[in-house]
Structure 1
Amino acid sequence: MPRAEAQYEPEELFDEFGQYADGTELSQGELELEDRASLRRVAGLSTELTDITEVEYRQLRLERVVLVGVWTEGTAAQSEASLEELARLAETAGSQILEGLVQRRSRPDPATYVGSGKVRELSDIVASTGADTVICDGELSPGQLRQLEAKLKVKVIDRTALILDIFAQHARSREGKAQVELAQLQYLIPRLRGWGESLSRQAGGRAGGANGGVGLRGPGETKLETDRRRISKRVAKLRREIAAMDTIRATKRGRRVANEVPSVAIVGYTNAGKSSLLNAITGAGVLVEDALFATLDPTTRRSETPDGRAYTLTDTVGFVRHLPHQLVDAFRSTLDEAADADLLVHVVDGSAPAPEEQVNAVHEVLHEIAERRSDALPPELIVINKADAADEVSLARLRHLLPGAVVVSARSGQGVATLVEEIAQRLPRPEVAVDVLVPYARGELVARAHADGEVLAEEHTPEGTRLQARVHPDLAAALQRYVTNGSAI
């Protein structure tokens, strides 16, 4: 079983040899957690150089952030919950939250997102708190972004840019980094800004030469056009690289399908405990952290049902309200792991303030994937996690809202055995029933029946192994010559 990370304080977790104080080695997830913690920006830490003759001057500090949101629908509590989630996202990105504002409007202002009066109030707060960044709880148009920065005189980013920044920090694999870069460039292209003809390029070739003639010596390609062209070339290259990685992923997935190994995909809202549940079921030892989007690279592990049938369990990237479409497009191959599964295990955070809204957000993304693929979603098993941190009233309400859900605690192990049994009941079973007498010389067929099928009865006789089982069609064809009583049942 993986070691529970909560038993140790961060500063005493590891020694320089990657071991605990008791001499046991760290798992891969714990090593990743140590690496990620070592890169955190620290408030108040300064690396100013004392020697003024040094060429370089550096200062390391947290970004000081003011949050702003527009309440257009729903209740005040839902609006506050959305801003609190934005604060958690900003903290995950390494920011220090100073203040938060919400304005009640029927729709965001088309020019400045919030109204002109709220912009002046926001400007005063930025000046008084010393903030250097404003984060808006929505996706800003290029015009809104430009207007707000001109009026506030500080950097302004939106929810989409913030999520992309977190993904860029947490991506570890080559595929994950390429997917995040593609999403960032797709977001950046319409938001590039030019500075007029001052950064234009002189026309080249015959138009720029002495023989070009009057009227042909124009400004040429502007800096903005050059940037767009270079980004478009980079986007095309990333798409080719990701397509090649898709082929590798599809090959691995196809091999599992050919071997008739059922697959289970763990999906859910970010920080719902998906990786913890994978560790609890399989002992995978993947990274577990109380942070949003701690997992970006999918992890697949093999497991077995209580009756011995093998299946794969895949931990996928978490979802969030208003997940940027650029990410859904860039992470298409990763999300296809969920769409191609035989069963979806949908993990819900039972201790969250509004878990039903998280369930709706996950369903929105899943249906978007299904519409893009023109395919139906796999069956869904809802799992209410963090039962040890949720109160009984909330759990009772969730049981009523989500009938058939399994209540577990991945941290304590409560309900995990029940969940494994429920997964086994919902996995597709081999469809062909056989009654065969297999000679001992063909023991590999018996082994395949145990590994890929469901053995109902087994008896060792002088002639061979008498086997009653449910198997897949390819194995049933291989066993056909050993069928007793004339035919397969």
Structure 2
Amino acid sequence: MKKSAIRSADFHPAESNGAVPHDSAFGQAEADVYEAILAEEPSTGEMELADRNSLRRVSGLSTELADITEVEYRRLRLERVVLVGVWTEGDAQHAEDSLAELGRLAETAGSEVLEGLVQRRDRPDPSTYVGSGKVRELREVVVATGADTVICDGELSPGQLRQLEDKLKVKVIDRTALILDIFAQHASSKEGKAQVELAQLQYLLPRLRGWGEAMSRQAGGRAGGASGGVGTRGPGETKLETDRRRIHKRISKLRKEIAAMRTVRGTKRGRREANAVPGVAIAGYTNAGKSSLLNALTGAGVLVEDALFATLDPTTRRADTPDGRPHTLTDTVGFVRHLPHQLVEAFRSTLEEVTGADLLVHVVDGAEQAPHEQVAAVREVLTEIAEDHGAPVPPELLVVNKIDSVAPTRMAELRRLLPGAVFVSAHSGEGVEALREIIADRLPRPEVFVDALVPYTRGELVARVHSEGELVDEEHTAEGTRLRAKVRSDLASALKPFVGAG
């Protein structure tokens, strides 16, 4: 098979804005994360997305101080990157779509994409990912474009990472490090920050490097002379070994903290289940419009950004079906192709909200070129999570969002690709009311019929029947309120002493 580099048409050298490029937040992927973790200080990239819209003054950019937003400030210091991917399967369009998604991820992290390259190979080169010959070509592209960083569309081994940095003379990161950095920037809650830090540490641990080739031996001073002999004497434990030990200790602490938070989350979920409130989980690919749909259905006012992974912390809101039955809607973290396994493990407690739901609303971006591939990627992760918990994936309702930006011919194609899907626009409100009706039909209904005479002193039971059950008939008598209704099993147990009375 002929191996050749294919330049993606999706990327072109961007015009320089004249500013001196600096390292962005994700550009310090190892150094920043490592220092922040060991010092147990929050990373500078961890900020609310809403805070980026606040005005702030930046001096030295002109003769006068100027009010600019945080987004504009980030654009002034964007890191200049070159993307590279290895095409091992599928067609050329699939390879370029994957690289285009990597470009959107890089822009979300705060970088300027200069060029995108795809290398056709049977499998990634075990030493340099793209092969020694293509590394030289890649070096020429880096020099010609003035790039600061190379981002690889895959997870690099520590050896590949070291070889590429040595040969390209610029910083090299992989897809996993890029996604972890975006998560670190967007995490806001205590649980979200802990989950991201745990994932970063698990990724960083096997990639710690020594100080060049000179590394100390474990045995210190004369202690090494008696047993180890020549070559074992040194100052004692190396800095690398010390760092590994401290990171292992930090990982253990974070796992305990997340386990405690998981208990709290499980308690809240158990309280909703005890109250027989059905739950709906909104899941889907990142930037598919899940938060916008939650706002359209409930008026929750959740932060919405046209950015990947804008939502990391699940948001639960109460809603009512058109016939008045209460239920909860939970907005969850988005998925992406080749989601790092460290993130799946770290966010396991958050993703449990999906497996514990009565209905899964799977949101798909109708404006995407290959929505069926995104659907497959999401289902793969959901199946993995469900298997870990020994529970089946909840019943799925496929919802195609953003139809206001889809041409009629494309709509017909989507209906063929995704049969049974509901088509809505969270932005314009088109199809939202129909979606409410369908959600109401898919939610579990009360299944136990009761005929009870409830004393007036137990008015709370009558209120629960009205709010949680389906009332068939109600009659007020001298002894109390006679109710004929369909209710859930827990409410039926509470009404049992009054069934058949009178």
TM-score, normalized by length of structure 1?
0.85
The residue aligned with 2:345 is 329
Is 1:101 the counterpart of 2:117 in the alignment?
Answer: yes
SS at match of 1:302: strand
Is 1:113 the counterpart of 2:161 in the alignment?
Answer: no
**Structure 2 residue identity aligned to 1:234:** R
Residue 485 of structure 1 deviates from its aligned partner by: 8.4
Is 1:232 the counterpart of 2:263 in the alignment?
Answer: no
The residue aligned with 2:94 is 78
The residue aligned with 1:376 is 392
Using the alignment, how far apart are the partners of 1:327 and 1:447 within structure 2?
Answer: 43
Q: Assess if the C-alpha contact under 8 Å between 2:48 and 2:188 holds in 1.
A: no
Is 1:133 the counterpart of 2:146 in the alignment?
Answer: no
Offset from partner CA, 1:394-431 (integer Å, 9 cap, x none): 22222223222111111111111111111111111122
Q: For structure 1, which segment, 178-187 or 194-203, has the greater mean C-alpha deviation from structure 2 after superposition?
A: 194-203
The residue aligned with 2:467 is 451
Q: For structure 1, which segment, 89-98 or 417-426, has the greater mean C-alpha deviation from structure 2 after superposition?
A: 417-426
Q: Assess if the C-alpha contact under 8 Å between 1:132 and 1:155 holds in 2.
A: yes
Change (3 A) 1:196 1:439: same
Q: For structure 1, which segment, 119-128 or 325-334, has the greater mean C-alpha deviation from structure 2 after superposition?
A: 119-128
The residue aligned with 1:192 is 208
Residue 483 of structure 1 deviates from its aligned partner by: 2.8
SS at match of 2:404: coil
Is 1:472 the counterpart of 2:466 in the alignment?
Answer: no
The residue aligned with 1:172 is 188
Q: Assess if the C-alpha contact under 8 Å between 1:308 and 1:450 holds in 2.
A: no
**Structure 1 residue identity aligned to 2:462:** V
Q: For structure 1, which segment, 433-442 or 477-486, has the greater mean C-alpha deviation from structure 2 after superposition?
A: 477-486
The residue aligned with 2:335 is 319
Using the alignment, how far apart are the partners of 2:228 and 2:492 within structure 1?
Answer: 82
How many aligned positions are there?
443
Using the alignment, how far apart are the partners of 1:202 and 1:77 within structure 2?
Answer: 52
The residue aligned with 1:156 is 172
Q: Assess if the C-alpha contact under 8 Å between 1:206 and 1:212 holds in 2.
A: no
Q: How does 1:431-446 map to 2 (within 5 A)?
A: 431-446=447-462
Q: For structure 1, which segment, 109-118 or 260-269, has the greater mean C-alpha deviation from structure 2 after superposition?
A: 109-118
Offset from partner CA, 1:268-327 (integer Å, 9 cap, x none): 000000000110111111110000000000001111111211111100000000000000
Using the alignment, how far apart are the partners of 1:236 and 1:475 within structure 2?
Answer: 42
Is 1:481 the counterpart of 2:485 in the alignment?
Answer: no
Q: Assess if the C-alpha contact under 8 Å between 2:48 and 2:187 holds in 1.
A: no
**Gap runs ≥5 in structure 1:** 1-30, 48-58
Change (3 A) 1:419 1:202: closer
Offset from partner CA, 1:80-133 (integer Å, 9 cap, x none): 111110000000000011111111111111111112222111101111111110
SS at match of 1:313: strand
The residue aligned with 1:350 is 366
SS at match of 1:412: coil
> Which of residues 289, 305, 314 in structure 2 aligns to 1:298?
314
Residue 220 of structure 1 deviates from its aligned partner by: 2.6
**Structure 2 residue identity aligned to 1:168:** A
Q: Assess if the C-alpha contact under 8 Å between 2:362 and 2:399 holds in 1.
A: yes
**Structure 2 residue identity aligned to 1:148:** L
Q: For structure 1, which segment, 456-465 or 173-182, has the greater mean C-alpha deviation from structure 2 after superposition?
A: 456-465
Q: For structure 1, which segment, 77-86 or 460-469, has the greater mean C-alpha deviation from structure 2 after superposition?
A: 460-469
The residue aligned with 1:288 is 304
Q: Assess if the C-alpha contact under 8 Å between 2:106 and 2:113 holds in 1.
A: yes
**Structure 2 residue identity aligned to 1:389:** S
Using the alignment, how far apart are the partners of 2:282 and 2:383 within structure 1?
Answer: 16
**Structure 2 residue identity aligned to 1:331:** F
TM-score, normalized by length of structure 2?
0.83
Residue 46 of structure 1 deviates from its aligned partner by: 9.5
Using the alignment, how far apart are the partners of 2:128 and 2:56 within structure 1?
Answer: 32
Q: For structure 1, which segment, 270-279 or 393-402, has the greater mean C-alpha deviation from structure 2 after superposition?
A: 393-402
The residue aligned with 2:108 is 92
Change (3 A) 1:126 1:38: farther
Query: CA RMSD, aligned part only?
Result: 2.7
**Structure 1 residue identity aligned to 2:162:** R
The residue aligned with 1:403 is 419
